[in-house]
Every structure is written in C-alpha cells, then in structure tokens.
Amino acid sequence: MKIAIIGYGRMGHEVEKIALERGHEILLIIDQNDSEKLTPTALAAVDVAIEFTTPETAFENVKKCLEARVPVVSGTTGWNSRMEEIMDYVRTTDGTFFYGSNFSIGVNLFFYINRILARKLNNAGGYSVEIEETHHTKKKDAPSGTAISLANYVANEISELSGWTLLPERQAGKIPVKAIREGDIPGTHSVLFSSAQDDIVLTHRAKSRVGFAVGAVLAAEYSVGRKGFLTMDNLLGLE
C-alpha cells in the first residue's frame, strides 16, 4: 500500500516504522507545520491515510481525505462532538472512515470483555462501576478516548447507567471516570465493578506505543477496498 501519514509526532513515527516493516510505502507525511500540503493532488497518489493529530485539527484532516476519495484511519481522540458531521461526509462521499479511540488489539478485546461482563452483571444487579485511566503528561485530552469508549460500552449494557462524568464531578446514573497524568505512561485503564459482596477489577496496561501503531496499520490494510464507517470490532470480528 501507498500510505499518507497525517501527524508526525510519536505515533506518526511508530506508524511509519511498522508500515515499512510490513512492506508498505510512505508517500506523504504531513506534520503540524505543513498542513497546507494536505491537498487533493497529494492525496491522489496514496491508497490510504493514517491520521494521528490533535482534537482541533482532526475533523478537517479526515474531511479532506474523504473529499479526495481516500480511505482514512484516525486515532485522534477528543473530537467526538463532530463525529456525526464526519459520518454525514462518509455517507455523501461514499467514503471509508476507520475510527479507533485505541488501536491496540488487547484494548479492543478488553472492550469486548467489559461489554460481556457488564451485560451479565446487569442481569444480576447490585454492581456499581468506576473507571480509572493513567497516561503520560503530554496527553492533551482527559478523560482519554479509550476511557470514554469503555464508559459508553459499559453504560450501554447496564440499564440504570447512561454516559459518564469526569471526577471530581459525579452524577447519578453516570460512570465516574478518574484521569491521571504522570510520567511517560503509554496508557493504563481499569474498570471496577463493585458490589457489597465483592469487587471485580479488569485492567489493561500498555507497555509501549508499538501496539497502537500495529493496530493502526492493520486498520489501514483492512480499510482499502471497503466502504463506510469501520471500527476495530469489524477488523477483529467482534460485531
């Protein structure tokens, strides 16, 4: 595949390394200081784009790829409020948009396990839920997109829950999420299901960013030749 990398920070560099190792070609690299190079002409030469930028720039980056009829994979979090607009662009352009709040294979299986557990505990009743996430100090959004996805997955399975709140704020019927920023931690997420009788704690701990990059490149490979809105559930057969 011929790939465009949009966002050449730490994740962009990891994506480049994994893509080259898997035999792909990097034809276009867009960094934060040369966004004007993201043009239809430049995109016409690539098979797929992989986007890891900022919440402020992700929408326009993805939109430009869709308008250029280029499948785009995005792992930028913190711009969920504009996701419906992008979905409209996917439909009107008959485009391909693969979104993941986290591209780690392990994290997405972690999502799946939490969904199943929440569904079973909803039947049993008597359990509250809390989420804690820890990331490096340079991460700009809080809570993380992964924590938001976790909260939404769990809340969708438990009848008395709807959405989440960021601690110290608490609201009845919403999952409290604690966000910690320290050191150079790639990402740790824990979900606590607690009852009067016991606690169930599920934790995923990333050891490096390599797993995120591998998943993003796999998502790019999966996206070529497909249409519509795609997720890691599609890639892993977890629908």
Q: Which residues contact 169 (CB under 8 A, 6 or more apart)?
A: none
Q: What is the residue whose two structure tokens read 């709807």?
A: 162
Nearest to 101 by CA among 136, 62, 69, 148: 148
Could you list the beta-strand ranges (E) of the chain.
2-6, 25-30, 48-51, 72-74, 96-99, 128-135, 164-166, 175-181, 188-194, 199-205, 228-230
Choosing from 139, 140, 174, 207, the catalytic residue is 139
Nearest to 135 by CA among 182, 196, 100: 182
Return the ∠ at Cα 223 (arms to 205 and 150), rounded to 5°.
Answer: 30
In the annotation, is 17 catalytic?
no
Choosing from 135, 140, 189, 227, the catalytic residue is 135
In the annotation, is 139 catalytic?
yes
How many whole angstroms separate alpha carbon 29 and alpha carbon 41?
A: 14
Q: What is the residue whose two structure tokens read 């804690």?
A: 132
- 151 phi and psi, to 5 degrees? -60, -45
H-helix or E-strand spanning residue 111: helix 105-124
| Residues assigned a catalytic role | 135, 139
